[in-house]
């Protein structure tokens, strides 16, 4: 449906996440462009929300800073329209169902199409309630990205069969954030996903180091990183774009398979 599949055409994808408007939209734009230059295959843009239930402290605080700075959904649509003049990398919004619902689902998806957003991730939208948004997503050619968690169990095959764009596989129980170790048996989940869907599957939550990204990409189609990037931005706004670009370059390099000869 959308151009999200292009993100996975050249092998393993690296997908960075950023909260729009933290600390301001100008910094967000600079960081996104540096990410793309460094090899990001798809960019997740977070629309800030006052109650981001899937997020850990790092991204929760980013949401608070962005809202305090006056970031609104309308301003983010204008931001994306401007950003699209400089990059055609696939981009998706990550936000919450209430943000879309209160904005107006039809208006939201229409604006997504007009500004160049390819998909939407709503982590608080249960699979059973996706029909609330799916028809209007399809009307405007926007992929509604499915999440699969270790707790999905007998629902994994069902969710995978109807997935579009890419599947966001949650690596661990709990909220987003950096983890020293990811111990979930993801291999068996990926195997079940692949038995039921040809849609690419990328793993997120808890990934911050190159070796973690490499491990996740080795068993799936890519790795997603958010909190580590938000932390870099929050440390120093002025040097954030360059530092984020360098970090993405390292992570992208890590997800590319290494082949041995002889």
Tell me the DSSP string of 124-183.
Answer: T--GGGGGGTHHHHHHTT-EEEEEE-GGGGGGHHHHHHT--S-EEEE-SSSSS-B-S---
DSSP type of residue 203? E
CA separation (Å) from 138 to 145, 164, 256? Answer: 12, 11, 32
- Mean pLDDT, rounded, for 32-38: 98
What does the pLDDT read at residue 258?
A: 57
DSSP per residue, 1-65: --GGGGGGTTSSEEEEEEETTSS-HHHHHHHHHHHHHTT-SSEEEEPP-S--TT--HHHHHHHHH
Contact 232, 22 (CB under 8 A): no
Q: Which residue has the tokens 């028809």?
A: 135
- Where does the pLDDT of residue 54 fall: very low under 50, low under 70, confident under 90, or very high at 90 and above? low
- Where does the pLDDT of residue 1 fall: very low under 50, low under 70, confident under 90, or very high at 90 and above? very low
What topology is assigned to 3-255 in CATH?
Answer: TIM Barrel (3.20.20)
- Mean pLDDT, rounded, for 177-185: 53
Would you say residue 64 has pLDDT above 60? yes
Question: For residue 139, which of 116, 121, 161, 112 has the smallest C-alpha distance?
Answer: 112
228/182: higher pLDDT: 228
Would you say residue 112 has pLDDT above 70? yes
**Average pLDDT along the chain:** 91
What does the pLDDT read at residue 2?
A: 67
Question: For residue 136, which of 110, 156, 118, 166 has the smallest C-alpha distance?
Answer: 110
Reported as a single tens digit per residue, the pLDDT across 143-155 is 999 999 888 878 9
Question: For residue 46, which of 1, 102, 91 has the smallest C-alpha distance?
Answer: 91
Would you say residue 182 has pLDDT above 70? no
Would you say residue 174 has pLDDT above 50? no
What does the pLDDT read at residue 261?
A: 36
Enter the tokens of residue 150: 């270790």
Classify 141 in phi/psi space as left (phi over 0), alpha (psi -120 to 50) or beta: left
What does the pLDDT read at residue 20?
A: 98
- Where does the pLDDT of residue 184 fall: very low under 50, low under 70, confident under 90, or very high at 90 and above? low
What does the pLDDT read at residue 136?
A: 98
Nearest-angstrom CA–CA distance, 19 and 45: 6
What does the pLDDT read at residue 190?
A: 95
- Mean pLDDT, rounded, for 182-188: 74
- Mean pLDDT, rounded, for 69-90: 98
- Mean pLDDT, rounded, for 192-220: 94
- Where does the pLDDT of residue 159 fall: very low under 50, low under 70, confident under 90, or very high at 90 and above? very high
First to last CA, the chain: 41
- Where does the pLDDT of residue 199 fall: very low under 50, low under 70, confident under 90, or very high at 90 and above? very high
Torsion of the alpha carbons at 112, 117, 123 and 124, rounded to the nearest 10:
0
């Amino acid at each position: 449906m959308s151009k999200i599949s292009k993100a996975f055409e050249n092998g393993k994808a690296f997908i960075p996440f950023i909260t729009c408007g933290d600390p301001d939209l100008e910094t967000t734009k600079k960081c996104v462009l540096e990410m793309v230059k460094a090899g990001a295959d798809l960019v997740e843009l977070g629309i800030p929300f006052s109650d981001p239930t899937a997020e850990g402290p790092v991204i929760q605080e980013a949401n608070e800073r962005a809202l305090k700075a006056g970031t609104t959904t309308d301003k983010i649509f204008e931001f994306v329209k401007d950003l699209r003049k400089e990059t055609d990398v696939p981009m998706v919004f990550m936000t919450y169902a209430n943000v879309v619902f209160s904005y107006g689902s039809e208006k939201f998806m229409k604006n997504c199409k007009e500004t160049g957003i390819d998909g939407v991730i709503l982590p608080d939208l249960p699979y059973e309630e996706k029909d609330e948004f799916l028809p209007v997503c399809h009307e405007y050619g926007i992929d509604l990205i499915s999440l699969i968690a270790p707790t999905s169990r007998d629902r994994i095959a069902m969710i995978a069969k109807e997935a579009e764009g890419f599947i966001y596989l949650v690596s661990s129980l709990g909220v987003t954030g950096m983890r020293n170790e990811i111990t979930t048996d993801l291999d068996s989940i990926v195997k079940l996903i692949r038995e039921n869907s040809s849609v690419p599957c990328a793993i997120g939550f808890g990934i911050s180091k190159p070796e973690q990204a490499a491990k996740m990409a080795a068993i799936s189609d890519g790795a997603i990183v958010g909190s580590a990037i938000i932390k870099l931005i929050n440390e120093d706004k002025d040097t954030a774009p360059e530092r984020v670009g360098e970090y993405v370059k390292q992570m992208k390099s890590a997800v590319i398979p290494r082949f041995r000869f002889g």
